[in-house]
Amino acid sequence: MPPHDLSDCFPVEDDFKAVMPNLPCSQPDAGHTCLVHGEQSPVLISVSNLDSPMDFNHIFENIPEAIVVISPEFKILGATNKYLETTMRQREDIMGKHFLLEAYPDKDVPYEENPVRISIDKAIQNKQEEWLDVIRYDLAKPEGGYEIRYWEASHTPVLDADGNVAYLVQVTKDVTEREQAREALQQSEMKFRFMADAMPQLIDADDAEGNSTYFNKRWESYTGIPVDKLLDGGWRQAIHPDDLPQASANWEQAHRAGEESQVELRIRDAAGDYRWHLSRYLPMYSENGSILMWIGSCSDIHDMKKMVQELLASNEQMSELADQVQLAYKKAEAERLTLERLIMQAPTFFAILKGPEHRYELLNDKYQALFPHLDLIGKSVAEVLPEIEEQGFVKVLDEVYSKGEAYEAEDIIVKIANAEGVLEDNYLTFVFQPLFDEHGKIHGILVVGYNVTDKFKMKQKLQELGIEMGAGN
């Protein structure tokens, strides 16, 4: 059944009919019930007698949608309780006030450029409903300051008997959680790309079906093949033709089995020379066990491979150097695994400090383990770690940020306060690496390092043991 005016169900006062002439309503068959439909859920209104007057203002205020009614002069005439709750306002604080200049001003955009004003003006001018796409419109909080909000809204003109706009009805929806989740996902992807692009390995990613979705910068710089061509299958041109069939068969078998694969192959660089690489292909699983994507990594093992071949060619040196070959292989494999875990599991402690105040934007579990009792995200180093500032490290960060030059420290003592405030010696090796934007301007600092305290404690114990043994002799 098509929606009807509320006046088809009940006699209403002319003023209220003018404000809400088009609220969708199902025609009552017995004259006792009216169903008013909202965006999220219907409201069932029952009366005992059709001839009894109804408090339509009360009905309007309790519609479970965020709705506000304004005049063509932008004066607020009415609002639902849901609207007041969503916008953190009391009815007496907004009634009769200018919608955008007094009740809900935009702190960042001039009134003439306010997208809400522009949308309402279009609705008045065209006498048609106008939809406002997602915008950020922060709201002043009762206790002071502003709260970040994202909105979707529609503006519907209400015409009088002469066809002129008498009122505007705004139906709005708070989509802040959805948009912030989308932004968080984008930032997470950007951080992954940053770390992957910083790797010396060739890193790529495929979707669950094996279609290429990502190649890091190293792939492009090493092979000389643009990323768009790599994504279009151009990576095959870089694989040695003698190695491609076996490698392809290996990857296809991994896809069918949903298992990790590993193969040695030669990849051509931008100069046309082939170098041996160890290619690993790993599936990433969802919580329910299905494959979400595949991660590929190619590590340069050419020098190690060449050394192995030279050793195999020399029978006289084979026995003598066999242990060295195995050690070199293990070392290369360990380095490859370290680089891979830097992306997937971050084995070293690292943190990203944002801006000249050096506020923590990102850190991993290894870094948090240095300060397990503190909440670091969003706070500056000086604010949350006064003992670090007292040791002069904040000044070092300032110099790195201002000069854009990295700072390296190896096996130095850093005093860190524990949960009781007692300073404890920690031996750390770390780098302060400046981060630059696309314009070459520094915008943060990457902190990467290792905690080598256990190594030094063991060294001290051995030294003490050596002294005691010397004394006994």
Domain 349-458 has CATH 3.30.70.520: no
CA-based nearest residue to 264, from 306, 315, 216, 325: 306
pLDDT band at 462 (very low <50, low <70, confident <90, very high): confident
Per-residue model confidence as pLDDT tens digits over 307-358: 877 766 665 555 555 577 677 677 767 765 665 455 445 567 888 899 999 9
Residues 315, 227 contacting (CB under 8 angstroms)? no
Percent of the chain with pLDDT over 90: 42
Q: Is residue 417 packed enough to be buried (19+ CB in 10 Å), middle (13-18) or exposed (0-12)?
A: middle
pLDDT above 90 (res 75): yes
pLDDT above 90 (res 169): yes
pLDDT number for residue 16: 44
pLDDT above 70 (res 429): yes
pLDDT above 80 (res 114): yes
CA-based nearest residue to 31, from 60, 54, 61: 54
Residues 342, 195 contacting (CB under 8 angstroms)? yes
Distance CA 371, CA 362 (A): 14
Whole-angstrom Cα Rg for the chain? 34
Number of helices followed by number of strands (H, E) in the chain: 16, 20
378: left (phi over 0), alpha (psi -120 to 50) or beta: left
Do domains 65-174 and 349-458 share one topology? The answer is yes
Per-residue model confidence as pLDDT tens digits over 263-312: 999 999 999 999 999 999 889 888 888 888 898 888 888 888 888 777 66
Per-residue model confidence as pLDDT tens digits over 387-406: 999 999 999 999 999 999 99
Token pair for 460: 């001290």
Distance CA 388, CA 199 (A): 29
The three-class DSSP label of residue 65 is coil
> What's the CATH fold of domain 65-174?
Beta-Lactamase (3.30.450)
Residue 277's DSSP bridge partners are 265, 300
The DSSP-derived string for 150-213 is EEEEEEEEEE-TTS-EEEEEEEEEE-HHHHHHHHHHHHHHHHHHHHHHH-SSEEEEEETTS-EE
Per-residue model confidence as pLDDT tens digits over 203-254: 888 898 889 988 888 888 899 999 899 999 999 999 999 999 999 998 889 8
The three-class DSSP label of residue 443 is strand
Sign of the torsion formed by the C-alpha atoms of 439, 442, 443 and 444: positive
Token pair for 389: 């500032």
The residue-averaged pLDDT of 373-395 equals: 94
Q: Give pTM, 2 decimals.
A: 0.38
- Min mean pLDDT across 43-57, 83-97, 126-140, 308-322 is at 43-57
The DSSP-derived string for 277-299 is EEEEEEEEE-TTS-EEEEEEEEE
- Strands (E) in 253-358, as ranges, are 261-268, 274-285, 291-300, 349-354
10 Å Cβ neighbour count for 421?
Answer: 8
pLDDT above 60 (res 412): yes
| Domain 181-344, architecture per CATH | 2-Layer Sandwich (3.30)
Residue bearing tokens 């010696």 = 425
Helix axes 176-198, 315-344, angle to 10 degrees: 160
Residues 187, 179 contacting (CB under 8 angstroms)? no
pLDDT mean across residues, the chain: 81
Residue bearing tokens 């069932």 = 44
pLDDT number for residue 95: 93
pLDDT number for residue 349: 87
Sorted by where each begins, the domain ranges of the chain are 1-56, 65-174, 181-344, 349-458
